[in-house]
Amino acid sequence: MRLKDILSGQLNAAEWEQKGYELPKFDVKAVREKTAKEPTWVHFGGGNIFRAFPAAILNDALNTGHYDRGVIVAETFDYEVIDKAYKPYDNLSLLVSLQSDGKVKKKVIASVTEALKADPELADWQRLVEIFRNPSLQMISFTITEKGYSYNEQDLQRGLQPVFALGKVTALLYERWKAGRLPLTVQSMDNCSHNGGRVKAGVLAYAERWVNNGLVPDGFAEYLRDKTKVTFPWSMIDKITPRPHEKVKELLAEDGFEDNDYIETEKHTFTAPFVNAEETQYLVIEDSYTNGRPPLDLGGALYTTRETVDKVETMKVTTCLNPLHTAMSIYGCMLGYTLISAEMKDEDLRAFIQKIGYMEAMPVVTDPGVLNPYEFIGAVINRRLPNPFMPDAPQRIASDTSQKLPIRFGETIKKYMKRGLDMQNLVLIPLTLAGYARYLKGLKDDLTPFEPSPDPLLEELQQIVAPLEIGKAEQDWSVLHKLYSRQDIFGVNLYEASLGEQIEGMVKELFAGKGAVRQTLHKYVVAR
């Protein structure tokens, strides 16, 4: 069983289906021919998340029979991905959905019609220029990670031969402008807040520099600012897509599926002909298009307003997911866990995050209307975090914690203050923040050392708690005021929020000695 069999005429459909593989229900060759002539969608970033999510929901839309165009993928960073993960397999891939009950679902993704290298010095560039000059093109999109939206002075000065992703995209948008100011939507699908604004800022930075340097006419920047011509919608995307999993590779091999090799490129991209991903997924998109759009709603995407996208993002990062992640990562590191799924078997930790979400954050949740907050958090606690296939670690989530706390907890505290709610209702959120001081000591609950995760303020914050000793009752606890009055760390001055003294008391309990982290966690979780 090989992916190339699907288009070579050697497909034994009965064998694939008998082993639980869902094959495309549409005419793959016809879709490819139609897309080559009248492309509607180009996606930048050929990584695992693209194949597991945007390409997969387009595949579902094609399976309905109500659409006839695929997606063309363009890689901006690691061209080996095209050579090793796309071309050898006729641009087909296998999506393995990892269910929380330990089962898997297997689906062939055939919505990708072309795979190109987005480099002005390579032959594929002329094909991209041709696509961008085609009036049929409706949308370009991105999963290039938040770092992919960066640019610097050196690249801005390169003119129309940029190296960074957004510079290349701007050069292609210039081709579309030259072709007749053709309309287009530039759609980010990366997991960062107000992502459309990030793309717009980067594209305009290149365009305005080129205008100022006399490389392009003034009208090009005006075209990009004209909302009737070009739009930069916001979106919220949420789906965990880890590296190819050894268990999945073994399972596929047992089926007789031969395309199960790992691929690691020279740039250390980890991929494979198959993609494994969690079952739960969300894609909420601002419905602001100038030239029509692919019907991704047929595959489960939600189209709505910018305000609603923002509310969904706020719901996720301040209530239903991100705060729970951070709370369990801080305590998980101190309790010696290395897997989030293993933490979810710990009764104290499970109850800890469940009560933070439902009892403390939910009273001030931002309800977007299109997704139910209670159902969202239920999926997180009951399906997503316990998933045995998800090799996510508290150590990874604990990275940059100082940068995350103001949003993940500070916003909830500010809402309590603004609404005049009783701050005594907050117990486990303060316990999370108290745990951060104990975490900064770099000692597990059994007093063996661990290395705190990378954080730009780690050394500075560790110096604040350095005078404190674990197991010593009488010491200068006033140093904690230097930490918990930091509005830049917690979003508010916690003493002004009437939480500082409460948190200090919890810190003293956590510092009581060996085993104090578990004892204190259990005490407050049960009491709450």
Cα(347)–Cα(399) distance, integer angstroms: 24
- Helix (H/G/I), strand (E/B), else coil: 416: helix
Cα(299)–Cα(55) distance, integer angstroms: 10
- Helix (H/G/I), strand (E/B), else coil: 279: coil
430 neighbors 506 (Cβ within 8 angstroms): yes
Low-confidence ranges of the chain (pLDDT < 50): none
Q: What is the pLDDT of residue 87?
A: 95
pTM for the complete prediction? 0.89
Pairing state between β 184-188 and 230-231? parallel
Place of tokens 């706390």: 405
Q: What is the pLDDT of residue 390?
A: 78
Q: What is the pLDDT of residue 438?
A: 98
Name the nearest CA neighbour of 256 among 16, 56, 73.
16
- Greatest alpha-carbon pair distance for the chain in Å reads 79
Name the nearest CA neighbour of 528 among 362, 352, 378.
352
44 neighbors 118 (Cβ within 8 angstroms): yes
Q: What is the pLDDT of residue 391?
A: 76
Name the helix (H) or strand (E) containing 15.
helix 13-18
445 neighbors 518 (Cβ within 8 angstroms): yes
Q: What is the pLDDT of residue 246?
A: 83
How confident is the model over 454-497, as pLDDT tens digits?
A: 999 999 999 999 999 999 989 999 999 999 999 999 999 999 99
Give how far the C-alpha of residue 165 lies from the chain's centroid of Cα atoms, to the nearest Å: 18
Q: Which two tokens stand for residue 85?
A: 């993960």
Name the nearest CA neighbour of 184 among 227, 139, 251, 234.
139
Torsion (CA) 343, 241, 107, 2 in degrees, nearest 10 = -110
Q: What is the pLDDT of residue 528?
A: 87
Specify the amino acid at residue 493: N
Q: What is the pLDDT of residue 247?
A: 84
